[in-house]
Amino acid sequence: MSPSFDQFRWLDSGATLVPEWLETNGLGGWASATLSGALSRRYHGLLVAATTPPVGRQVLLSKLDETLVLADGPRWELGCNQYPGTVHPTGHRYLKAFFRDLFPVFEYEAGGVGLRKTVAAVHGHNTTLVVYEVLAAPGPFVLELLPLLAGRDYHTLGHHNAAAEPAFQCHADTYHVIPRPHSAALFLTLPGAVYAARPTWYYQLEYAQEQERGQDFREDLFSPGVFQRVLSAGDTFGLVISTEPCGPDSAETLLAQEAHRRTALLAAVAPPDALRRALTLAADQFVVRRAADLNTVIAGYHWFTDWGRDTMISLPGLCLVTGRFAEARRILQAFAAAVSEGLLPNRFPDSGAAPEYNTVDATLWFFVAVQQYQHYSGDADFVQQALLSVLTDILAWHRRGTRYGIRVAENGLLSAGAEGEALTWMDARVGGWAVTPRRGQPVEIQALWYNALYITATLLHQAGRPAEAAELEESANRAAAAFEPAFWNEEQGCLYDCLPPAGPPDAALRPNQLLALSLPYPLLSGARAARLLAAVEQALVTPVGLRSLAPTDPAYCPRYRGGPVQRDGAYHQGTVWSWWLGPYCDALVRVHGPEAGSVRVQAVLDGFAYHLGEAGLGTVSEIFDGEAPHQPRGCIAQAWGVAEILRVACQYPMASS
């Protein structure tokens, strides 16, 4: 069974740094930290604002440490920080329970006080809510709150600067500060609280995940002072943390509104069992605003922006099985408007600069996303009126040739590649070194190209344009006729990974070949499809995803760790990727049939469910070590990992259910 997150409890008092929680605001910003309250990443913060959605991210308020001050004098510090050689304070000892359902909820017990804390990001605003409920208390006590300010770009770290010691300005119950010169403003609304100025620097907070990743990992944070609020048993105290002055609604009212919004998301997913419930809520975190009337998909938290490939692969799981068709339309519109010379953007940079187009597969995944959008929504008018001309123009560019050597070869297959570039999803680069360049004819690109041709031909038939459709069908059939003879590797019983411009085929055993089975129009069937699946299962399948390279390969890297060079070198050389469970499950159903295949898919989901309780709570990690115990690595929340697990959970219910 999938873990029930409304019953999840975290009680390991020795774990001061992991696991992590995440709240996102629909703009590209968030609140996030570890369960203990300690920061383990430069990207952690109670308010990380997307000042130019979905980018321009700034860590404004790093954290808010709580202390309980009892009437008879004892102080119970609930905060937790890692410093060189020590942890102080050690408030994680008083964390008795944690829940992750609609929101992260923490329950503390200290000095006879039972305190529940709920943290929520408000959708559509750079706003974080923190609501405290006093479950028990021996009498009145003071809740003291210590804000630690950063005021920096989310990729950087800050250090002591005597010229950057801002003071809070007070207006009624709202306190205003600009944490650092040129940072966004920060507003804290704390009804009934008393403020005392106590300017203090906190030096050399250590971020363990940054240290492990070979990055700078120490930061100095500044606190202008402390807030105090007298509370008693049964009281509720909510505060609003935002980049804008608080409106008339209280934190409690805003929390109730956000709970209503999230609960409504679950209505489209039936039945919303524990796994689907958790993943539907997780899926909501990636769909964000781009401009006033468009949407996009954040590829992963905490450091990715919106990437074309990730967006198109994720669209069915994030928006279609969840019934979010209006947002899906706006996502497709946003990327269609950015197509250039037949290519979809690879990514939109942090800086808001022009998109980058160094990708061959993102554009082809766009066709699959469009086909799936029409399949789930039935909205053929939008596809015909807004997207079909974009699709036909893309195909025309590919046939005559476009950037990065992307063109149709004489055999009808698609070739791509340029010096120093890695154009497929295996895109890691170290300086000028493309780790897995895969120049020539990569196997999954042929499956995607074949599908792009047939999908567009089908849409042209629907549009009453049979001559154009027949031309594309002829191109698709030509590609299919060339594919199997060129790619089948009889010795290994599977497909070659890539046909390079010169030399022998690349026989590396990777998951890419699964797309020849899993896409809407498969290129392989029968006995060879079964042999391919068996080869992949034997070498690549793990409980949390598929290895990017077989362990028997000399280039295999069993662990993803070390500095940037070591990690990038291992990224696609054995590291396990969660999103590949989606194509794998599709292949299971294709090879074993709907009934037996669905049962196998359910076994995959059951075996995966434990992961939702070990890293980013309630969500899916980007990658894992190739070897057991498959330690989670990379981003704690990855769009296509969440999306693909949720999609197959909704698409293939058990035959017996």
Residue 172: pLDDT band with limits 50, 70, 90:
confident
Alpha helices in 463-615 (DSSP H): 466-487, 515-518, 526-539, 564-570, 581-592, 594-608
pTM of the model: 0.95
Residue 130 has pLDDT above 70, yes or no: yes
Return all residues near 116 (Cβ < 8 A) that are at least 6 apart.
105, 106, 107, 108, 132, 133, 135
pLDDT at 654 (0 to 100): 66
Residue 5: pLDDT band with limits 50, 70, 90:
very low
Residue with tokens 């008092």: 13
pLDDT at 387 (0 to 100): 98
Residue 448's SS3 state is helix
**Number of Cβ atoms within 10 Å of the Cβ of 482:** 17
The span from the CA of 329 to the CA of 526, in Å, is 36
CATH number for the domain whose boundaries are 20-261:
2.70.98
Residue 146 has pLDDT above 90, yes or no: yes
Residue 12 has pLDDT above 60, yes or no: no
- Phi/psi at 67 (nearest 5 deg)? -135, 135
Residue with tokens 């194509």: 583
pLDDT at 342 (0 to 100): 98
Mean pLDDT of 615-642: 97
pLDDT at 403 (0 to 100): 96
The span from the CA of 514 to the CA of 512, in Å, is 5
Summary mean pLDDT of the chain:
94
Residue 14 has pLDDT above 80, yes or no: no
Q: Tell me the pLDDT tens digit for each residue of 216-252.
A: 999 999 999 999 999 999 999 999 999 999 888 999 9
Q: Which residues pair with 90 in a beta bridge?
A: 80
Residue 657 has pLDDT above 80, yes or no: no
CA 244 to chain CA centroid, Å, is: 27
Q: Tell me the pLDDT tens digit for each residue of 454-506.
A: 999 999 999 999 999 999 999 999 999 999 999 999 999 999 999 999 999 99
Q: Tell me the pLDDT tens digit for each residue of 534-591.
A: 999 999 999 999 999 999 999 999 999 988 899 999 999 999 999 999 999 999 999 9
